[in-house]
Amino acid sequence: MKKITINDLVKWKQEGRKFATSTAYDASFAGLFESQEMPVLLVGDSLGMVLQGQNDTLPVTVEDVVYHTRSVRAGSPNCLLMADMPFMSYATPEQACENAAKLMRAGANMVKLEGSDWLVDTVKILTERAVPVCAHLGLTPQSVNIFGGYKVQGRDQKNADKMVRDALALQEAGAQIVLLECVPQELAKRITEALDVPVIGIGAGNVTDGQILVMHDMFGISANYMPKFSKNFLAETGDMRSAVAKYIADVESSAFPDDAHTIA
């Protein structure tokens, strides 16, 4: 697989070509994903739940993500690699710069931050200092205690309109990707069409430019529950490589997510 850059994703958006993304946490699975030409990988703070057995992502540290980023990069030298900024690791722009540098040195091409328009200054400072940013909107798992659980976001008109404004503001600040989690498909379509940068969805229907799944959900081995928007591709194919290939093909053809895996 040739080395993937943000320019490839922008070109694909312009061409209407959808792309698949997965979380990854170690060299072996990263190599498996790259062998099937998965263009984008994310070292997610979801590792707290799927690897560490935590109830949420809050206990994950920057050092945890650095370790797994280094491992994933070793197994997948050519993917575009995003790394999550963990809970309270970017409370101030100065703190964000210091911790983002650690992730970039570990092999990340981009960092992902959860939050709305309050992140505008931080995103601007990071991108001015050569740190590409993916902005994460909608259900932001680090805010689970504010939301009172893992709930769909943007169902009402007021919050939907605000999310559109937030996405535009973050793009203007320099965010090069926007990730939408657990938002209604109609809202995801509005945001995807409004932005020039690629939009990746999870639980946002098949209208976004790309899709992402937690790898454990893709293989049906999550220790917790299986979200409505996730699909066990291993059960359908019986082989991990075939499961990854099927996921990629179904995303590219818009077969996944279908209505059964989309939030109304």
Tell me the mean pLDDT in the region 43-52: 95
The least confident of 222-226, 229-233, 245-249 is 222-226
Angle at the Cα of 156 (from 155 to 159), degrees rounded to 5?
Answer: 95
Tell me the mean pLDDT in the region 100-120: 98
DSSP 187-199: HHHHHHHH-SS-E
Q: For the chain, what is the total number of helices (H) and then of strands (E)? A: 12, 8
Catalytically active residues, by annotation: 181
pLDDT at 217 over 70: yes
pLDDT at 263 over 80: no
Q: Does the domain at residues 6-261 carry the CATH identifier 3.50.50.60?
A: no
Query: Which of residues 146 and 183 earns the better pLDDT score?
Result: 183
Q: What is the mean pLDDT of the chain?
A: 95
pLDDT of 112: 98
Global pTM?
0.95
pLDDT at 151 over 90: no
Give binding residues as ranges.
45-46, 84, 112, 114
DSSP 15-53: HT--EEEEE--SHHHHHHHHHTT--EEEE-TTHHHHTS-
pLDDT at 7 over 80: yes
The domains of the chain are located at: 6-261
CB distance 116 to 137 below 8 Å: yes
Give binding residues for 3-methyl-2-oxobutanoate as ranges.
45-46, 84, 112
Query: If pLDDT is split at 50, 70 and 90, which confidence band does 157 have?
Result: very high
pLDDT at 225 over 70: no
pLDDT at 226 over 80: no
